Chain A
Amino acid sequence: MVLGKASSSSLSMKSDEDVVNNNNNLRVLVVDDSPMIRKLHDMYLKKFGLEVQVAENGKNAVELFRFGASFDLILMDKEMPVMDGAEATKELRAMGVKSMIVGVTSLDSPYEKQVFMEAGLNYCFNKPLIADNISFLLQELNKNNNDKN
Chain B
Amino acid sequence: MDLAQLQRQLVDYKTSLYHEDFLDEQFTQLQELQDENNPDFVVEVVSLFFEDSDRLLNELTKALEQQSVDFKSVDAHVHQLKGSSSSIGAQRVQKVCIAFRNYCEEQNVEGCLKCLQQVRHEYSLVKTKLEFMFQLQQQILSAGGSIPM
Contacts and interface: CB of A to CB of B under 8 A. Distances in A.
Nearest to A130: B29
Contact of B49 (A36, A79, A130): A36
Given A43-B33, A106-B86, A128-B26, A34 B52 contact: yes
Interface of A: 34-37, 39-40, 43-44, 47, 79, 106, 127-128, 130-131
A79 B84 CA distance: 13
Nearest to B50: A36
A128 B84 CA distance: 9
Q: At the interface, is chain A mostly helix, strand, loop or mixed?
A: helix
B11 interface: no
A37 B76 CA distance: 16
26 contacts: A34-B52, A34-B83, A35-B52, A36-B45, A36-B48, A36-B52, A36-B87, A37-B83, A37-B84, A37-B87, A39-B44, A39-B48, A40-B33, A40-B45, A43-B33, A43-B38, A44-B33, A79-B79, A79-B80, A127-B83, A127-B86, A127-B87, A128-B86, A128-B87, A130-B29, A131-B29
Nearest to A126: B86
A20 to B, nearest CB: 16
Nearest to A127: B83
B52 A106 contact: no
B86 to A, nearest CB: 7
Interface string B59-71: 0000000000000
